[in-house]
């Protein structure tokens, strides 16, 4: 039996944790930088790892065992390059940290183990780590820059850490050209969809509702789009919303044209920035499948939805201009989870109504968007 090599995680504050390597093998002097964050979800790791919003991040999973049901096939649908079960066509993590790996998976749809999945996408991973203790540290300090390296690695001089949020991560994960995706049935409506690092279940959610999708790169000028459409959708995505200024400019144009607009996650932040509101970085973000969000508008604070989330930035409620209102609020920390205009057809949510993974309590928001497109 081959002896498993050890990897270590070095945090910017000097903390080091060591465990066994079970993903992509790093060379003797090879390292992997990223922003170290944590996710508290109990299931849904294939969907989580393929979510483009994790670009630039090293993920710590708090659930003690990962890999028990393996990974499904990675086949793309005939209707465009949309995965059937995963959230993109690759893993977007920079690295993975877990407590225990389940080496023998069991599920009728499984085609490979977690380790095989990670190796195929060249993602290093460490197991045998006290991930809950590491999470406590991140909760107290906040997300931190880190570096994965072989146990024998020694820095030559001062150790430096690259901040992924200083890059335009949206530009890295967004498609390079426009693509039109047709539903199987007769299209009822057409949506101009900004792909800033979209989860594929958002696209699937539109196709299932017989909505034709015009998939746009993040920097496509909406004013130049010749195809006819009924509404504008702003997707999730990684990094600082300030970096996606070209998308924000198109949102401003769409508002001047009085288009119907719906945003999710990063899309919510971009909508806020388009009207002059401010965004800020959260201490450790929300990454889980059980975040409670209170509807302050439709149910006057008497209805709470359990939601799937993955974001590190939020909207400053006090900076919203006249005519706008906070729609949803996080029951745990009071942060903004959704905004909407009082009279215009513009609304967005910070959480993921498409789930995948997580509860589907808020999937009705897609139907509300489609109804608004009907005028």
pLDDT digits (tens, 9 = 90+) for 189-212: 999 999 999 999 999 999 999 999
Tokens (6 digits) for 261: 């607009």
Q: Are 293 and 307 in contact (CB under 8 A)?
A: yes
Residue 1 has pLDDT above 50, yes or no: no
Residue 78 has pLDDT above 60, yes or no: no
pLDDT digits (tens, 9 = 90+) for 97-138: 999 999 999 999 999 999 999 999 999 999 999 999 999 999
In order, the DSSP letters of 202-269 are HHHHHHHTTEEEEEEETT--GGG--S--SEEEE---SS-GGG-HHHHHHHHHHHHTT--EEEETHHHH
Question: What's the whole-number average pLDDT of the chain?
Answer: 95
Task: Judge residue 359's burial from the number of C-beta atoms within 10 Å of its C-beta, 0-12 exposed, 13-18 middle, 19 or more buried.
Answer: middle
Whole-number pLDDT of residue 42: 93
Question: What is the arithmetic mean of pLDDT over 331-353?
Answer: 98
pLDDT digits (tens, 9 = 90+) for 29-44: 899 999 999 999 999 9
Residue 79 has pLDDT above 60, yes or no: no
Instruction: For residue 293, indicate whether it is catalytic.
Output: no
Report the candidate in 83, 98, 79 with the shortest Cα–Cα distance to residue 22: 98
Whole-number pLDDT of residue 81: 79
Whole-number pLDDT of residue 375: 66
Among residues 35, 74, 101, 265, the one annotated as catalytic is: 265
pLDDT digits (tens, 9 = 90+) for 278-298: 999 999 999 999 999 999 998
Residue 170 has pLDDT above 80, yes or no: yes
Positions of CATH 3.50.30.20 in the chain: 6-163
d(CA 273, CA 373): 23
Among residues 47, 87, 101, 354, the one annotated as catalytic is: 354
Residues of the chain with pLDDT > 90, as a percent, come to 91
For the domain covering 6-163, report its CATH number.
3.50.30.20
Q: Going by C-beta distance under 8 Å and a sequence separation of 6 or more, which residues neighbour residue 110? A: 69, 70, 71, 72
In order, the DSSP letters of 29-48 are T--EEEEEEEE--SS-HHHH
Torsion of CA 327, 331, 336, 341, to 10 degrees: 0
Give 15 or 84, the one with higher predicted confidence: 15
Among residues 24, 286, 311, 352, the one annotated as catalytic is: 352
Query: Which of the four pLDDT bands, split at 50, 70 and 90, describes residue 84?
Result: confident
Task: Judge residue 265's burial from the number of C-beta atoms within 10 Å of its C-beta, 0-12 exposed, 13-18 middle, 19 or more buried.
Answer: buried
Positions of CATH 3.40.50.880 in the chain: 169-373
Query: Which of the four pLDDT bands, split at 50, 70 and 90, describes residue 3?
Result: low
Instruction: For residue 116, indicate whether it is catalytic.
Output: no
Whole-number pLDDT of residue 203: 97
Q: Which helix (H) or strand (E) holds 273?
A: helix 266-274
Give 23 or 3, the one with higher predicted confidence: 23
- The bridge status of strand 6-11 relative to strand 346-349 is unpaired
d(CA 102, CA 251): 45
Q: Indicate whether this model's pTM tops 0.75.
A: yes
Residue 9 has pLDDT above 80, yes or no: yes
Whole-number pLDDT of residue 300: 84
Instruction: For residue 30, indicate whether it is catalytic.
Output: no
Tokens (6 digits) for 153: 């690695």
For the domain covering 169-373, report its CATH number.
3.40.50.880
């Amino acid at each position: 039996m081959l002896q498993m090599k050890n990897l270590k995680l070095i945090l910017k504050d000097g903390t080091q944790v060591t465990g066994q390597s079970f993903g992509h093998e790093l060379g003797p002097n090879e390292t992997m930088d990223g922003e170290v964050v944590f996710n508290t979800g109990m299931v849904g790791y294939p969907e989580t790892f393929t979510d483009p919003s994790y670009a630039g991040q090293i993920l710590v999973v708090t659930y003690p065992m990962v890999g028990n049901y393996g990974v499904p096939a990675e086949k793309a649908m005939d209707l465009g390059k949309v995965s059937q079960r995963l959230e993109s066509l690759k893993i977007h993590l920079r690295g993975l940290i877990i407590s225990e790996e389940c080496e023998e998976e069991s599920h009728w749809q499984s085609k490979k183990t977690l380790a095989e999945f990670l190796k195929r996408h060249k993602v290093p991973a460490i197991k045998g780590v006290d991930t809950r203790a590491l999470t406590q540290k991140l909760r107290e300090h906040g997300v931190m820059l880190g570096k994965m390296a072989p146990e024998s690695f020694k820095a030559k001089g001062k150790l430096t850490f690259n901040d992924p949020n200083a890059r335009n991560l949206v530009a890295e994960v967004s498609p390079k050209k426009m693509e039109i995706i047709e539903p199987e049935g007769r299209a009822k409506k057409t949506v101009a969809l900004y792909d800033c690092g979209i989860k594929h279940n958002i696209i699937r959610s539109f196709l299932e509702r017989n909505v034709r999708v015009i998939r746009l790169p993040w920097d496509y000028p909406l004013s130049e789009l010749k195809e006819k459409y009924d509404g504008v959708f702003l997707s999730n995505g990684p990094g600082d919303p300030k970096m996606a200024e070209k998308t924000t400019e198109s949102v401003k144009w769409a508002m001047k044209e009085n288009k119907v607009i719906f945003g999710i996650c990063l899309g919510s932040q971009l909508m806020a920035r388009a009207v002059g509101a401010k965004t800020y970085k959260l201490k450790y973000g929300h990454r889980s499948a059980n975040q409670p969000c209170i509807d302050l508008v439709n149910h006057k604070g008497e209805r709470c939805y359990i939601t799937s989330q993955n974001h590190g930035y939020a909207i400053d409620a006090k900076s919203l201009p006249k005519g706008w209102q906070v729609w949803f609020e996080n029951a745990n920390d009071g942060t903004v989870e959704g905004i909407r205009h009082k009279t215009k057809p513009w609304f967005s949510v910070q959480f993921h109504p498409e789930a995948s993974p997580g509860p589907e309590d808020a999937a009705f928001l897609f139907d509300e968007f489609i109804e608004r497109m009907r005028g």
